[in-house]
């Protein structure tokens, strides 16, 4: 239980003294730092206990329906927007990935061509001829090379090998 004066700590205004009996002192006589009186400072508030236990909310099925309608509509709108936007987002993400993979594929293809060129350089007959001469290798004569096949004696030779 408190009045405004007690709350704002104004001791010169006794809570018990009625407003009408209070003697107004000249402003100049008062402490300069003292707060001025609030309007309705003397009004006292009391807590009043209210018992609503017997109150019953009136049934309103239409309001509930409307609520669910709003929720449903919002969900539908959200789903609709998701359906609309998801492919775009996915498309954008896939686009990034695709471009990245495409660039990588191009790089790999270029690397492959470069490696093929290096391989061709390594396997050039002139280079092989030089290497063979260095190791005293000679070209086989005609019919000296026998291509093994999976038949007859060749088959046995292949197994033995």
Partner 1 sequence: MVERRLAWLAGFVLIWGGLILTKLVALQIVHHQDYVRKARARQEQVVELPAQRGAILDRTGHPLAMSVPTASVFVDPLKVPELEVASDLLARELHLDRAELSQRMQAAHDNHRGFLWVKRGITPQEAEDIASLKLDWIHIDTGSERHYPNASLAAHVLGGVDFEENGNGGIEKALEAELHGASGEARILTDVKRRGIDELVSTEAHAGATITLSIDENLQFVAEREIAAAVKLHDAVSGSVVVMNPYDGQILALASYPPYDPNLPPENKKDAEARANHAVGVPFEPGSVFKVITLSAALETTKLRPDTPINCHGGVLTLFGRTIHDSHVGVFGFLPMSGVLAHSSNIGAIEIGLTVGKDAMYDYVKRFGFGQKTGIPLAGESKGTLRKLPKWGSTSLASIAMGQEVSVTTLQLARAGSVIANGGMLVKPRLVLKKGDQTSPIEPPVRVIRPETAITMRQMMEGVVLNGTGKEAKLKGYTSGGKTGSAQIFDYKTKHYTHTYNGSFMGMAPITNPAVVVVVTLNGTSGVGGFGGVVAAPVFRVVASEALRILDVPKDLPDDVPDTNTQIAKVQTMDDVADASLGDGEPNILEDRDEDDAAAVPVKPASTPVAGIVPNFKGMTLRAVLAAAKGLPVQPDGSGVARLQSPPPGSVLHQGERIRVQFAR
List the x/- string, 87-106, binding to partner 1 by CB under 8 A: ----xx--xx-xxx-xx---
Q: Taking the complex as a whole, how short is the minimal distance between the CB of residue 136 and partner 1, in angstroms?
A: 18
Min dist. Cβ of residue 11 to partner 1 (A) = 60
Residues 35, 41: Cα–Cα separation, whole Å: 12
CA–CA distance, 54 with 136 (Å, rounded to integer): 116
Q: Report the C-alpha gap between 144 and 38 in whole angstroms.
A: 126
Query: Does residue 111 belong to the site contacting partner 1 (CB under 8 A)?
Result: yes
The binder of partner 1 chosen from 11, 18, 140, 152 (CB under 8 A):
140
Answer yes or no whether residue 141 interacts with partner 1 by CB under 8 A.
yes
4: CB partners within 8 A, 6+ apart? 38, 40, 41, 43
Asked whether position 110 contacts partner 1 by CB under 8 A, the answer is: yes
Task: Tell me which residues in 46-75 interact with partner 1 (CB under 8 A).
Answer: none
Single out the segment in contact with partner 1 by CB under 8 A; choices: 41-49, 65-73, 80-88, 137-145.
Answer: 137-145
Residues that bind partner 1 (CB under 8 A): 91-92, 95-96, 98-100, 102-103, 107, 110-111, 113-114, 116-117, 120-121, 123-126, 129, 139-145, 147
């Amino acid at each position: 239980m408190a009045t405004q004066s007690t709350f704002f700590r104004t001791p010169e205004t006794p809570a018990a003294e009625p407003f009408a009996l209070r003697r107004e002192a000249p402003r100049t006589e008062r402490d300069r730092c003292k707060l001025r009186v609030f309007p309705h400072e003397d009004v006292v508030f009391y807590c009043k206990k209210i018992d609503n236990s017997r109150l019953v909310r009136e049934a309103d099925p239409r309001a509930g329906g409307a609520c669910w309608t709003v929720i449903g509509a919002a969900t539908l709108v959200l789903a609709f927007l998701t359906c609309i936007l998801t492919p775009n987002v996915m498309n954008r993400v896939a686009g990034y990935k695709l471009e990245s993979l495409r660039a990588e594929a191009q790089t790999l293809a270029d690397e492959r061509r470069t490696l093929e060129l290096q391989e061709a350089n390594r396997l050039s007959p002139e280079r092989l001829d030089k290497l063979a001469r260095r190791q005293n290798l000679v070209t086989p004569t005609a019919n000296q090379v026998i291509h093994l096949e999976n038949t007859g004696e060749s088959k046995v030779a292949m197994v033995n090998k």
